[in-house]
Amino acid sequence: MLSSVKFKNKYYFRTSEAFASHLKCEENKFDVNYNNSNKTGIFSVVNENINHKAHIGSFIYSYQRINLFNQLFQFKYQNIVRVVMDGIFYTGETPKIINKFREKPAELMNDECFFINSLNCYDQDLEIELTDLQYYNKNDDGRLIGLIGAGGNGKSYNSITKNKNLNILYIAPSYTLARSKKEEFNYINEDVYANVLEGRKWKLKHRDYNIIIIDEITMITEAMKQRFIKMFNYSKIYFCGDLDKEVSYQLPPIKDVVMSLEDLDIVYEYKKNYRFKCDKLKKIIWFLRKRIKDGINSDIVLKQFINMMEKEKRVIDIEELKELYEIKDVILSSRKKCRKHENCNCSTNHIKLFNTLFDYEKYLITKNTDDLSNGDIVYNPEKIYKYMERRNSFTIHQIQGKTIKDNKVFIYSKNFFDITMLYVAVSRVVSLDQLYLIV
């Protein structure tokens, strides 16, 4: 290598350890070592004159750096993803490519990246559009980034994969969601809102992460958001969720209102959906989103939704449910108890109703263990523990953030009190063939 400098010459010879130990030089012009594994002596002779080409390597390196800086000046700085030794990863339009640079596939990053070599480009196959709300764009190079759009649009996927060479902390509302994301992307670190906000060793655990990804932000209040920002004041933070300036499309925080997007540096809206696989389901999804946006009364929307499902022959009664339901299918209800009663023994208790109908050994995990997360579902366990609750139905809050790809989902239509609750339930599946409405 041009920059290498050779201070000693080494000579190898066959000998015994005893003989090598007798070799000495009073003027310290050489050292003698012995490699016992291959019975070899090593002379290391100090060079009196050192010839090298490091100055040539330094010149080439400096020239390369100057060219790299000249190419960087051709970019909009908000489009730059990463700068490496011989190139630049970037998003957006390809800028003017100066001499000595060329485009090539971005194999070192992910499928969405362009790379220019000494440069190339990072092309998003996700349809990302900068929101047209001007006040969102206060600082295009800011550290507080909003990624908004419907579930299945690739918000968390994109924020993780584009930063996969950095130190990422993914924060979710539940252990089930956090651990499932860790299984999908084994190079990230994961935690839940409660641990971080309650300060459970977060200063020790999280202080070195330079990328923070906070998912399902419709469940975050403004006060929670400000605490996250203060805690991670040296990190870039991605806030991912299904909301916009005017409305939240998914279930809000249990207390207080959902966080605001107004003080984020920049907000990207994701338009293309990767979850929904059939046009009929997409039509229903966009119908519900439009009604949420327009603030239509929940009772009116539920009646319209029932009519749509009846046309598709997806409405059933309890007797039909008994024929269709299998152990790994999911029954979703608005809440554990009826709307009017807090007594869990109420005759309209949803958990009791469906546990009476079905005798499956199906349990909800209510405590974190080494192998299981609070919110996981297990089937036919060999042993029943105190933290396992027999369940055949689940609240929509418990399923938010999950995607059900294969099994059937039954939505119990009684006591719905919010359109967002209905929307979250419907948007868990990938095809209308999986979905049934119980009336």
Q: How confident is the model at residue 362 (pLDDT cuts 50, 70, 90)?
A: very high
Q: What is the pLDDT of residue 43?
A: 74
Q: What is the pLDDT of residue 407?
A: 92
**What's the CA gap between 244 and 259, in Å, rounded?**
10
Mean pLDDT, rounded, for 317-335 = 90
Where are the extended beta strands (E) located within 15-130?
30-35, 40-46, 80-84, 87-90, 102-105, 114-117, 120-121, 128-130
Mean pLDDT, rounded, for 279-298 = 90
Which has more confidence, 371 or 212?
212
Q: Is the pLDDT of residue 315 over 90?
A: yes
Q: What is the pLDDT of residue 10?
A: 77
Q: What is the pLDDT of residue 338?
A: 54
Longest C-alpha distance within the chain, in Å?
100
**What's the CA gap between 32 and 41, in Å, rounded?**
7
Q: Listing from the earlier edge strand, what are the strands of the sheet with 409-412?
A: 315-316, 435-438, 409-412, 330-333, 393-395
Highest-pLDDT range among 24-28, 64-68, 168-172, 205-209: 168-172
Mean pLDDT, rounded, for 18-33 = 68
Q: Is the pLDDT of residue 129 over 50?
A: no
β-bridge pairing 266-270 and 128-130: antiparallel
Mean pLDDT, rounded, for 42-50 = 73
Q: Is the pLDDT of residue 15 over 50?
A: yes
Helices (H), 50-186: 54-72, 155-161, 175-184
Q: What is the mean pLDDT of the chain?
A: 80
Reported as a single tens digit per residue, the pLDDT across 165-192 is: 888 999 999 888 898 899 999 999 998 9
Q: How confident is the model at residue 120 (pLDDT cuts 50, 70, 90)?
A: very low
Judge contact between 310 and 439, C-beta under 8 A.
no
Which has more confidence, 364 or 199?
364
Which has more confidence, 290 or 118?
290
Q: What is the pLDDT of residue 272?
A: 86
Which has more confidence, 405 or 59?
405
Q: Is the pLDDT of residue 143 over 70?
A: yes
Q: How confident is the model at residue 203 (pLDDT cuts 50, 70, 90)?
A: low
Q: What is the pLDDT of residue 84?
A: 77
Q: Is the pLDDT of residue 112 over 80?
A: no
Mean pLDDT, rounded, for 203-224 = 83
Q: Is the pLDDT of residue 319 over 60?
A: yes
Which has more confidence, 319 or 71?
319
pTM above 0.85, yes or no: no
Q: How confident is the model at residue 200 (pLDDT cuts 50, 70, 90)?
A: low
DSSP 319: H
**Long-range CB contacts (within 8 A, 24+) of 175-180:** 175/368, 175/373, 175/374, 175/375, 176/373, 176/374, 176/375, 176/376, 176/402, 177/215, 177/216, 177/375, 177/401, 177/402, 178/373, 179/373, 180/402
Q: Which residues lie closer than 8 Å to 297 by C-beta, 6 or more apart?
A: none
Q: What is the pLDDT of residue 25?
A: 54
Q: What is the pLDDT of residue 215?
A: 94
Least confident of 90-94, 104-108, 388-392: 104-108
Q: Is the pLDDT of residue 141 over 60?
A: no
Strand partners for 12: 42
Q: What is the pLDDT of residue 233?
A: 84
**Long-range CB contacts (within 8 A, 24+) of 285-293:** 285/150, 285/423, 285/426, 285/427, 288/419, 288/422, 288/423, 288/426, 289/150, 289/249, 289/423, 291/419, 292/247, 292/249, 292/419, 292/420, 292/423, 293/246, 293/247
Q: What is the pLDDT of residue 137?
A: 38
Which has more confidence, 234 or 216?
216
Cβ neighbours of 143 (radius 10 Å): 19
**Long-range CB contacts (within 8 A, 24+) of 47-50:** 47/6, 47/7, 47/8, 47/9, 50/5, 50/6, 50/7
Length of the chain in terms of residues written: 439
